[in-house]
């Protein structure tokens, strides 16, 4: 389960920020996750519980900001919803596009601490 590794590095970053700001408690963490990031939300939540245990982030809330996959057509410059099947065909002109603009995000969007 690679979510555990991902969550563990995310938590390292969170705790480092908390330390540098002198925070005693982390209340809420928001992660931006693309539809094609290959992350399963349920596994992520499980990993979150594991890595926050016995830290100042224990009992905090994990929020997932889901980013839909969007691609751009090279032929007509249309931006469109790409879906999650890795075959992106333009709804306007039918061209296949490999130009994924968003959907692979996996980043820390927000941390609430005090």
Binding site for Zn ion (CB under 5 A): 73, 75-76, 78, 90, 92-93, 95
Q: Which is nearer to Zn ion, 92 or 101 (CB)?
A: 92
Q: How far is the CB of 14 from Zn ion (least distance, A)?
A: 40
Q: Which is nearer to Zn ion, 62 or 71 (CB)?
A: 71
DSSP H helical segments within 60-102, as ranges?
A: none
Distance, CA of 40 to chain centre? 10
Q: How far is the CB of 100 from Zn ion (least distance, A)?
A: 15
Report DSSP letters for 10-67, one per residue: HHHHHHHHHHHTT-S-EEEEEEEEETTS---HHHHHHHHHHHHTTSTTTTPEEEEEEE
Q: Which is nearer to Zn ion, 66 or 75 (CB)?
A: 75
Q: How far is the CB of 37 from Zn ion (least distance, A)?
A: 25
């Amino acid at each position: 389960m690679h979510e555990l590794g991902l969550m563990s590095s995310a938590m390292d970053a969170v705790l480092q920020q908390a330390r540098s700001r002198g925070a005693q408690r982390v209340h809420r963490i928001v992660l931006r996750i693309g539809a094609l990031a290959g992350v399963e939300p349920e596994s992520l939540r499980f990993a979150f519980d594991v890595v926050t245990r016995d830290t100042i982030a224990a009992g905090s809330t994990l929020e997932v900001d889901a980013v839909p996959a969007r691609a751009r057509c090279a032929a007509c410059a249309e931006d469109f919803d790409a879906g999650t099947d890795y075959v992106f065909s333009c709804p306007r002109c039918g061209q296949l596009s490999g130009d994924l603009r968003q959907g692979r995000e996996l980043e820390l969007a927000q941390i609430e601490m005090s």
